[in-house]
Amino acid sequence: MREELQDNMKRLVNFLNFAKAFFKRKNPLKELAVSLLTSLKEMLTIRQKLKMAKYRVNYHKHQLHKMESLIAENNEHTFLKGKNLNQLR
């Protein structure tokens, strides 16, 4: 009985040592704090990121419209152009 109790105590101490080493190596509380801070930072900066994304989309739409108008301007088959020649090119 006494030996069995000592074996169980040794196993418990061994388990506690493993748990202590794990918590030293991978601190879950520290990781939780870091993840909370990064998610809070993301939530606070989401509006600025949304504005930048909208700006990029509008800029690319403008570039596409400009390119389409240049193509339509130089296309002789379009009904809007007729037979006008582009003197600059």
Query: What pLDDT does 69 receive?
Result: 83
- Four-residue CA torsion sign, 67, 68, 71, 72: negative
Query: What pLDDT does 43 receive?
Result: 93
The answer to whether residues 89 and 74 touch, using CB atoms and an 8 Å cutoff, is yes
Is 81 exposed, middle or buried (CB count within 10 Å of its CB: 0-12, 13-18, 19+)?
middle
- The closest of 62, 87, 55 to 73, measured between CA atoms, is 87
Tens place of pLDDT per residue across the chain (89 aa): 888 899 999 999 999 999 999 988 988 889 999 999 999 999 999 999 999 999 999 999 999 999 888 887 766 665 555 555 555 55
Region of 26 on the Ramachandran plot (φ > 0 left; ψ -120 to 50 alpha; else beta): beta
Query: What pLDDT does 51 receive?
Result: 96
The DSSP secondary-structure symbol of 77 reads T
Where do the domains of the chain lie? 2-73
